[in-house]
Amino acid sequence: MANKLIDSIKLEVRDAQPCRKAFDFTIPADAVKSEAAAVLSEFAGMVAVPGFRQGKAPAGIVKTKFAAELKEELHRRIMTTSYDLLLKDKTVDLLTCDIENEPEMAEGADFKFTLAGDIAPEFELGDYNSIKVETKLDEVTDKQLDERLDFFRKMYGAYAVADTPAEAEDMLKVSYVSDFKPAEDASASLKRQGEAKDTFVWLCEPESIPGCIKALTGATKGAECKFEAQYPADYRESELAGKKVNYTVTVEEIQRRKPLDDAELVEKARVKSIDEFKDMLRKSMIAEKEQKRRMEAVEAVWAALDKQVKAFELPPRVLAAEIQKELTTLAQSVRSAEEADKFKAELESKKAEAEKTARAALRKTFILRKIAQAEKIAVEQAEIEAQITVMSQQYGYPVKELRDMLEKNGQLDSLQLEILNGKVLEKLAEPSLK
């Protein structure tokens, strides 16, 4: 019946606004009647009616008793079949679809309704395959190799007590108090941020207490240092975000890494010789520089492509949704009532910022999407799973838990789009890397 129904549907397409079309559907009265009869026949064969064996009740009784259900199923079939017809039209690249008007279905009359949808913008890509950019692969110098070697000497080195004033990257054993008084039921980590005894502070980024590196550099054992810490607005503990806190720190001990010599480094790295370790480092650094060159090529290719493609209209509903998403992202940075008030006061400028970001993101998406279609570039499920695995290692979540989280937050589509865009740009950048 579905095939017979789809063949009877009449569809007219109208331009509603740039990147948006209206689809007027007409289902002739005889087609509606025929489909209604088919639905009734199927229902009559399945439902149970008191006084009759299942599937043996007269059609008239079934029609009266299940009038609402029959109408709902008929409506569902007509709408689904109409949407299938719309998707068969390869001249329309449909992105969103919603019903514009839906009158009641009257017996013996044609059923008419309108769907409206955003469609992909039309624009010329130009000869994107001819884009080439200049990239340079820097050599690994002996100085850079020595600096990387010194880094590992220090990183693997053990801390030892130092008698000289504190220096950058030292580890200090300290006790401190502050004028920040957390609530009684505050977390242990928040309480520790306000006061601690016999704890350790590293004089390197990221700072455990804002400003501690500058305040404690040059301090000696037994010194008492006072300073004001300015916590950033986006600090992880909302109770401290944007606040100024006065600290008094007593330095109990200064410890400093003792760099390893060649023999110690060889043993720690489990290699046969220092030359073997240097060779490993050089290869790793070459790979880093190649990756950096690849990233620079991708950025340069996109800049050239973006410049090459003329401005085009964006689908209105898709744009509105993207602006809302960007605005939500900006709002999520608000950590306090004070910041919330400031955000509200600057709402119009925040909306303008969100729109600018959204327009740039959608322009990039549609350009790369069109190239992906032309080049038959797609994302495989295995690629998505591989990326989720990498992300799970970065964020410390189990793979399944992270996948469920992405799916629940509707971010799997964004991840797939990110992978697709990356594949397209990698392909376009390849000629520039040869």
What percentage of the chain carries pLDDT values higher than 70? 99
As a whole number, mean pLDDT of residues 65-85 equals 91
Cα dihedral: 105, 110, 116, 121 (round 10): 160
Q: Which of 31, 13, 33, 9 has the alpha carbon at shortest distance from 22?
A: 13
Do 216 and 229 contact (CB within 8 A), yes or no? Answer: no
Structure tokens at 228: 């004001």
pLDDT tens column, 6-64: 999 999 999 988 999 999 999 999 999 999 999 999 888 888 888 888 878 888 888 88
As a whole number, mean pLDDT of residues 162-177 equals 96
| DSSP for residue 181 | -
Q: Residue 107 burial (CB < 10 Å; 0-12/13-18/19+)?
A: exposed
- The pLDDT value recorded for residue 2 is 47
What crossing angle do the helices spanning 67-88 and 29-44 adopt, rounded to 10°? 120
pTM: 0.75
As a whole number, mean pLDDT of residues 128-156 equals 93
Residue type, 49: V
- The pLDDT value recorded for residue 3 is 56
Q: Which domains, from first to last, does the chain contain?
A: 2-118 (3.30.70.1050), 158-258 (3.10.50.40), 272-433 (1.10.3120)
Structure tokens at 290: 């190649």
